[in-house]
Amino acid sequence: MRTYWWKILGILLLLYSIIMGLLGHVPALPIVHETIRNVYFHVPMWFTMFTLYLISVVYSVKYLSSGRPADDFVAVESVNVGIVFCIFGLLSGMLWANFTWGDPWPNDPKLNGSAIATLMYLAYLVLRNALEEEQKRARISAIYNIFAFPIMIVLMYILPKTTDSLHPGSGGNSGFGQFDLDGSMKAVLYPASLGWILIGTWLMSLRFRIRKLEYQNDSATPETLA
């Protein structure tokens, strides 16, 4: 019997974030006004993407040492779902930026970095489809994935911090924690992030199980025909 508790926990955390995210107290700031509540929904997308890519790297390393196809399946499905959350993050950020920064795509280092990182992970999927042989495909893409992960961290989390960025906490900008004096925003942001991470992992596990079933069906047919 599969355990459902963490799925229910994820749903409850997201319900809390929807209710408290819209009704809770937020600091009054110029320009952003009520849109500061987007923090509860835009930022968790990126946390979820990061967690899924991390799971992918861990399973790529595992595949290289074990050679089990199942490890490779977890790695590729994590990237698949991670890219979906990345696109959600980009779209929600563009929408938000359009009304607060005045442009859906200001040439912000964090935006450009995340765009390059997304292309890098799309290249991972293209690379996989380009290779015919199963073991070769799994091994080469696992190595590519291990190299892509630290570059993604540098592009999205390290380089933007060193230069001037519109994002909070970069360059001379202050992080939002400075305005959140009573911690009421953290009390929503952290549960929301955990909730989205759990839901993202759930989606990944569903896709993984489907892929495993497909693999078992494909490998079973030649034997039944013979």
Partner 1 sequence: MKKTILSFLLVISGLMCSFAQSNTGVEMATGLRSSGKIYVVVAVLVVLFLGLTIYLFTIDKRLTRLEKQQKK
Q: Which residues bind partner 1 (CB under 8 A)?
A: 2, 7, 11, 14-15, 18-19, 22-23, 202-203, 206, 209-210, 213, 216-217
Q: Which residue lies nearer to partner 1 by CB, 12 or 158?
A: 12
By CB neighbour count within 10 A (0-12 exposed, 13-18 middle, 19+ buried), where does 200 fall? Answer: buried
Q: Which residue lies nearer to partner 1 by CB, 73 or 149?
A: 73
Q: Which residue lies nearer to partner 1 by CB, 121 or 196?
A: 196
Q: Which residue lies nearer to partner 1 by CB, 37 or 110?
A: 37
Q: How far apart (Å, rounded) are the C-alpha atoms in residues 63 and 183?
A: 42
State in angstroms the smallest separation of the CB of 63 from partner 1. Answer: 22
Report helix, strand or coil for 181.
coil
Residue with structure tokens 């390393």?
61
State in angstroms the smallest separation of the CB of 184 from partner 1. Answer: 16
Contacts of 30 (CB under 8 A, 6+ apart): none
Q: Which residue lies nearer to partner 1 by CB, 21 or 89?
A: 21
**Helices then strands, each counted (H, E), the chain:** 7, 0
Write the Ramachandran bin of 67: left for phi over 0, alpha for psi from -120 to 50, otherwise beta: left
State in angstroms the smallest separation of the CB of 170 from partner 1. Answer: 31
State in angstroms the smallest separation of the CB of 215 from partner 1. Answer: 11
State in angstroms the smallest separation of the CB of 216 from partner 1. Answer: 6
Query: Is 52:79 a contact under the CB 8 Å cutoff?
Result: yes
Torsion of CA 16, 18, 20, 26, to 10 degrees: 140
